Structure 1
Amino acid sequence: MELNITTEKKNSLLGRTEVYGTVTFEGATPSNAQVSEALAKKYGKDTDTVVVKHILGKFGGITATFEADVYDTKEQLLKTEPKKKEKAAGTAPAA
């Protein structure tokens, strides 16, 4: 897997770097966790401070585009990113 950064925008108000780029891969499209790990390594940050918004690939292709945010600190991430709702235990899915 190879990452190519096409656009990098520093957002100092939110304490993050907004990253856009392409990823070249073999086989299946890489998961958000794999791209997050690669970006954390590239920027010298912890994986907890990287949020991959989406990865868009074309059917049968070996490249995909991605959008991600690399936060300066974990606290900035918690202030900015929306909280995920937890599923209620014991509820059945709608039929």
Structure 2
Amino acid sequence: MAIGWRFTEWRCSPLKATPTYNPYYYGVTTAEEEEEEKEEEEEEEEEEEEEEEEEEEEEEEEEDRGHSPERDPRYLSEIRELPKRVPTRLSECHT
């Protein structure tokens, strides 16, 4: 082994017959690659946040649809079944 063998090691790729050098195997990256990775991570985080916001909005819309009296027929039928006059005395409640 020569001095600096880590940086000149060639590995044979299982998919190709030609040997390839993998700088990421030793953690050797350039500043440009690091910036690109940071940008990609930021973009992924932004996309995830947007997806979460969209999901929350959809859930809120579904909840609003379910609880609105205009759109829920069960709620409307319960309102129709209520008595016209609410009993105010105890004797009226037990009739």
Normalization by structure 1: what TM-score?
0.16
> Which structure's CA Rg is the greater one?
2
Return the structure number with greater strand share. 1
Between 1 and 2, higher relative CO (CA 8 Å, sep ≥ 6) is seen in 1
